[in-house]
Homo-oligomer: A and B are copies of this chain.
Amino acid sequence: MADPKRRTLPSWRDDDRLRDECGIFAISGAERAAELAFLGLYSLQHRGQESAGIVAIDGDGAARAHKDMGHVNEAFDDQILEGLPGDFALGHVRYSTAGSSSLRNAQPVLVNYRHGSMALAHNGTLTNATELKDRLSREGAIFQTESDSEVVIHLIARSRREVPDHQVDDALSQLVGAFSLVLAVGRTLYVARDARGFRPLVLGRLGDAVVVASETCALDIIGAKYERDVEPGEVLRIEDGVIQRLRPLEPEPHSPCLFELVYFARPDSRIWGCSVDRARRAFGRQLAREHPVDADCVFAVPDSSNSAALGFSEESGLPFELALIRNHYVGRTFIHPGQAGRDFRVRVKYNPVAELIEGRRVVVIDDSLVRGTTSRGLVSLLREAGAREIHFRVASPPIVAPCYYGIDMPTRKELIGATHTVEQIRDHLGVESLGYLSLDGMRAMVAEYGPFCEACWTGDYPAPLVDLENGAALHRTS
Chain A interface residues toward B at CB < 8 A: 1-5, 7-8, 30-32, 35-36, 38-39, 42-43, 45-46, 49, 65-66, 68, 70-78, 81, 83, 103-104, 109-114, 118, 134, 137-144, 153-154, 157-159, 217, 220-223, 266-268, 270, 275, 277-278, 303, 306-307, 310, 314, 319-322, 325, 327-331, 333-341, 347-348, 351-356
Give the docked Cα–Cα distance between A35 and B30 (Å).
41
Given A35-B337, A111-B143, also A74-B331 (CB < 8 A)? yes
Q: Is B112 touching A222 in the complex (CB atoms < 8 A)?
A: no
Number of copies: 4
Give the docked Cα–Cα distance between A217 and B325 (Å).
11
Closest partner residue, chain B, to A68 (CB atom): B1
Given A327-B43, A353-B267, also A5-B7 (CB < 8 A)? no
Q: Is A307 touching B335 in the complex (CB atoms < 8 A)?
A: no
| Dominant SS among interface residues on chain A | mixed
Closest partner residue, chain B, to A357 (CB atom): B268
Give the docked Cα–Cα distance between A8 and B64 (Å).
13
Those 5 A-B pairs whose CB atoms lie nearest each other, nearest first: A140-B158, A275-B355, A114-B137, A3-B3, A111-B142
Give the docked Cα–Cα distance between A382 and B352 (Å).
31
Q: Is A1 touching B70 in the complex (CB atoms < 8 A)?
A: yes
Residue of B81, B157, B310, B353 near A268 (CB, 8 A) is B353
Closest-CB distance, A232 to chain B (whole angstroms): 23
Q: Is B141 touching A353 in the complex (CB atoms < 8 A)?
A: no
* List of B residues within 8 angstroms of A141 by Cβ: 113, 140-141, 157
Q: Write 9 A-B pairs (CB below 8 A) sorted by A numbering.
A: A2-B77, A73-B329, A74-B333, A110-B144, A142-B153, A266-B351, A278-B355, A306-B322, A320-B320
Closest partner residue, chain B, to A135 (CB atom): B114
Give the docked Cα–Cα distance between A68 and B68 (Å).
13
Q: Is B118 touching A140 in the complex (CB atoms < 8 A)?
A: no
* List of B residues within 8 angstroms of A137 by Cβ: 112-114, 157
Q: Is B73 touching A35 in the complex (CB atoms < 8 A)?
A: no
Give the docked Cα–Cα distance between A325 and B302 (Å).
12
Residue of B220, B310, B329, B351 near A351 (CB, 8 A) is B220
Q: Is A74 touching B1 in the complex (CB atoms < 8 A)?
A: yes
Q: Is A277 touching B307 in the complex (CB atoms < 8 A)?
A: no
